[in-house]
Structure 1
Amino acid sequence: MVEHIGFRRFVSALQPLFKMKGHYGCIQGRKKRALNYMAACKSRIAITSDMWTSENQKRGYMAVTGHFIDDSWKLRNIIMRFIYVPAPHTGEVICEELYDALVEWNIDEKISTVTLDNCTTNNSVITELIKKIGSSKLMLEGILFHMHCAAHI
């Protein structure tokens, strides 16, 4: 409702000096603060990602979440992306979307693990992701990089 032009005119008539920030501006402000927070984080970050396809539209969507311990030793979780993934859902396409999220948040070199479900495509996602990041930047050269989701197992 606050985005509606009629409501904005009403508020402007009440107080012309009041400038309303749009929903998009609020989201961008929060994202910028979260990006700065993650940049200052000194710990490694575990990533979880899941992808699913809507039944009625046959469109694929992926959520990417970062999990880490902050300086106060509290477990923190940040939803980094919720995005549409274009078909076909090959390992390369999924890897590209996941890698873009890591680079956008500037954490591509801070990753500890990536947890995905047991879909066979995810094995190629991990292989491609390790190539893009470089195994030398991962803990134990990436031996424990791919975690399989216990709920899916």
Structure 2
Amino acid sequence: MLRHYRAIHENKEGHGGGPAKARPTRKQDLDEALVNLIVKDTQSFSVVEDVRFRAFVALLDPNYVIPTRQAVKAMVDAKYVLERNKAIADMQKVAAVSLTSDMWTSINMDAYLAVTCHFVDDNTCLNSVLLGVQQFPHTHTAENLARVKASLMEEWGITDKVTSL
């Protein structure tokens, strides 16, 4: 009963009989931890449908209802938008940024390009943001690289912060 009270009623009533505080519920905390597991450990959305994963979670917390694959995808998308907007706001505060590119070819001969932006914030802390990964239909030519970089700089609003020597 105590678990039920804490999970359901305590959040509605708040502590001390006053209005409820805007603090995350246990479900929200677990959902966020699940999103972090999927994003940071590059897990598939389908992990939530795995029988052994579900059994493990049920053993840890029988009251937790694992979100569907579609719900997890929506949560990951929402987290991406939030983090992307925060990164864009951070980049707008700095005078200049530096871009790096990583190129590789898969075993199937598909060409890829990843562009990362680096900048120093007000606290002299180096930040890095992956602007995007692009698959090329052909090869890594200078024209293709320049086109992708220009497109990403425009999309992230940093065109005026990148200078060439």
Matched, 1:76 2:132: no
| TM value normalised by structure 1 | 0.56
- Map 1:1-153 → 2, pairs under 5 A: 3=46, 21-23=71-73, 25-41=75-91, 42-43=93-94, 44-54=96-106, 56-112=107-163, 142=164, 144=165
The two structures have a TM-score, normalised by structure 2, of 0.52
User: Runs of 5+ in structure 2 lacking a partner?
Assistant: 1-43
Same amino acid, percent of matched pairs:
26
Q: Using the alignment, how far apart are the partners of 1:30 and 1:107 within structure 2?
A: 19
C-alpha deviation, 1:89, in angstroms: 3.0
Q: Which structure: greater helix fraction? A: 2
> How many residues align structurally?
112
* Residues 28/99 of structure 1: CA separation in 2 closer, same or farther (3 Å cut): farther
Runs ≥4 residues deviating over 3 A: 1-7, 17-21
Which protein is richer in strand relative to its size? 1
- Answer with 1 or 2: which has the greater Rg: 2
Cα contact 1:49–1:62 (8 A) shared by 2:
yes
Two-structure CA RMSD over aligned residues (Å)? 3.2
